[in-house]
Structure 1
Amino acid sequence: MKLQRKFLVLWFLQKMSQKGKLPELQILNSNNLTEQFHGRVLEFLNHGCSAQFYMIWFSPATQFGKRQVMATDGLLKFKPKGYLMILSKSMDSGSGYRILKPLLDRGFKVKALTPDLPFLVKNTPAETWLQEL
């Protein structure tokens, strides 16, 4: 484990020295899917809901296991007219859909969306921070 950590630190330092800044993270960039974010959010929330809930999921969709499904199920049983939006690139996929399908089949309003971070932070102090990365 120590060797792996040492390798990662060396890799990080090498990338820093090559570019003079942090390595670019794909999640921070806009693409065709993220540019649809605003419209997809409005479409999802346009049907009137009693409560809106948001979850951020950074891990691979395969890590969204029984515990997370049960927590989601419990939340939506408590607020059956509530909407849950999962901001996640990995869950906004075929495998993510298959994971959420049992909840959708039961009539729960849950949707995974790939967020557009530049759009979300536009005109906020975080916009400068994101540009400097």
Structure 2
Amino acid sequence: MASTDTSRAPCPCGRLDLKGRPLAHGQCCGRYLDHFDAVPAPDAESLMRSRYSAFVLENAAYLLATWHASQRPPQLEFEPGARWLGLDVRSHTRQDDTHAQVEFVARLRDAGGRASRLHEKSRFVREPNEGGVWRWYYVDAL
């Protein structure tokens, strides 16, 4: 994870305020990444956005903690030199109190300069953790 203070910089997820201005990372995804134990993402879209920001910031601990235990890999490695370029949330569908889907397109450039897009419809589930706090978790992609 980057060691510089990113709390005032625009959030990597690209979320805008009501006036169309970029939200600061500390007011957006940063509150979930920096205060994981105390501040769970309130909905699947916010979790998905915060996971995108965690990829940008290479925060493997947050990504693993927000991955559903049934699908969580044992470890996570980042592609050296890869650069995330932007996120476009296409839809957020809450199916019931504990299930949701988020469709998004994330753009990135690899170390060799080749650009690509990740278009995914992700499934999320909301469950209580060991402490009884209800949290959204990324499950998988359809």
Please, what TM-score do these two structures have when normalized by structure 2? 0.20
Higher strand proportion, which one?
2
Q: Which structure has greater helix proportion?
A: 1
Higher relative contact order (CA 8 A, sep 6+): 1
